[in-house]
Amino acid sequence: MKKQHRTLVLMTPSVFWLLAFFLLPMVIMAVFSFGSGELKFADMRFSLDTYQKFAETSAFWRLLGRSTLVAVYTALLSVLLAYPVAYLLAFYAGQHRGMLLTLIVIPSWISFLLRVLAIKILLGSNGPFVNMMESLGFAASSWPPLLYNRTAVIMTLVYTWIPFAALPIFSALERIEKPLLEASADLGAAPWRAFLRVTLPLSLPGVIAAFFFVFIPTLGEWVTPALMGGTNGIMYGNLIQDQFVRALNWPMGAVMSFVMMVLVILFLFVLTRFIKLSELLEG
């Protein structure tokens, strides 16, 4: 069957790559986390020691919980702030929507690290923001610190996520058939009510997609906390990274990672109750 052969040829590279370099690593990580810490298959024995240690360290759990909270706040804020942008693009931008969309996405293409650096300069103790506040009469000491805390992390993350959160919402809003909106206006709905009862519900799949699209990767975020978080703002991802860089406790790192992965799978499962993952590809 030549047709079957063709399909095989076409799909093999990607299947192989995803299998070998995505699924297999995940499996190895899972297996290793349940192992005795040996880095050779032959020497590994089943052991729950590391898991036990993890479960006993309440600091780890608290950090995981706090990180989840941070991720929730980030996702919520991102979606909230991105919604009006998406709304404008979908309904007010007309033919310029493609161009404006590109406009807000461009900053994301510029090195993330550099933008964080720029924010640090902006909000830093010698930076323009503080200087401006001081000239207006607010002494620097009366302000809560703008950097190196959890708020700074959330703000920076939201800042980077807004354009990406806007995309799925925009897609969903665009897909609403205009006649539906015209019909609700025709039937006498005031603009706010039309929004609450028609537009918002219909855009909900996009909103939910945007939320999870921000939430799940942010769970494991470590770069922003490392740059902006100080001691108060570190997240679970930093803990994992630490195991491999400083503490050199690979088994613990794997356990922490696996726990996070399970959490991600759980959340993904919730997400797929609402939308199909493959639809993200169409978003």
Partner 1 sequence: MKRTMAWVYFWLITALLYLPIVLLVIFSFNDSVLLTFPMKGFTLKWYGELFRDAELIKALSNSVVVGFTSSLAATIVGTMAAIGISRHRFFAKEFFLNVASLPLVVPYVVLGVAMLLLFRFVGIPLTLWTVGIGHVVVNIPYVLLIVAARLAGFDAHIEEAAMDLGANYWQTLLRVTLPISAPALLAAFLSSFSTSFDEFALTFFLIGTDTTLPIYLYSQMRFPSRLPLVLALAAVIIFATLITVVLLEWLRHLDQPRRRKKRLEIL
Are residues 160 and 76 in contact, defined by beta-carbon separation less than 8 angstroms? Answer: no
Report the alpha-carbon angle 16-29-216, nearest 5: 85
Please pick, from the candidates 159, 161, 170, 211, the single residue that binds partner 1 as defined by CB under 8 A.
Answer: 159
153, 194, 208, 260: which one binds partner 1 (CB under 8 A): 260
> 226: how many CB neighbours lie within 10 A of its CB?
17
Q: Which of 96, 241, 246, 248 forms a contact with partner 1 (CB under 8 A)? A: 241
The CB-of-165 to partner 1 minimum distance in angstroms stands at: 11
Give the Cα separation of 254 and 28 in Å (integer).
9
Q: Could you tell me which stretch among 52-60, 142-150, 167-175, 235-243 binds partner 1 (CB under 8 A)? A: 235-243
Q: What Cα–Cα distance (Å) separates residue 22 from each residue in 14, 29, 72, 266?
A: 11, 11, 26, 18
Q: Contact with partner 1 (CB under 8 A): which of 227, 228, 234, 275?
A: 227
> What's the CA angle centered on 98, arms 92 and 104, to 5 degrees?
85
Binding footprint of partner 1, residue count (CB under 8 A): 88
Interacting positions 61-100 with partner 1 (CB under 8 A): 81, 84-85, 87-88, 92, 98-100
Binding mask 119-148 for partner 1 (x = CB under 8 A): x-xx-x-xxx--x-----------------
We find the least distance from the C-beta atom of residue 174 to partner 1, in angstroms, to be 14
The answer to whether residue 201 forms part of the interface with partner 1 (CB under 8 A) is no
Q: d(Cα 90, Cα 203) in Å, to the nearest integer?
A: 11
Binding partner 1 by CB under 8 A: which of 79, 153, 257, 275?
A: 257
The only residue of 66, 97, 176, 217 in contact with partner 1, by rule CB under 8 A: 217
Q: Is 197 in the site for partner 1 (CB under 8 A)?
A: no
Q: Which of residues 19-58 bind partner 1 (CB under 8 A)?
A: 21-26, 28-29, 32, 39-41
User: Alpha-carbon distance 166 to 183, whole Å?
Assistant: 26
CB 45 within 8 A of CB 259: no
Amino acid making up residue 86? A
Q: Are 206 and 172 spatial neighbours (Cβ–Cβ below 8 Å)?
A: yes
Shortest Å, Cβ 258 to partner 1: 8
The Cα–Cα gap between 79 and 84 comes to: 9
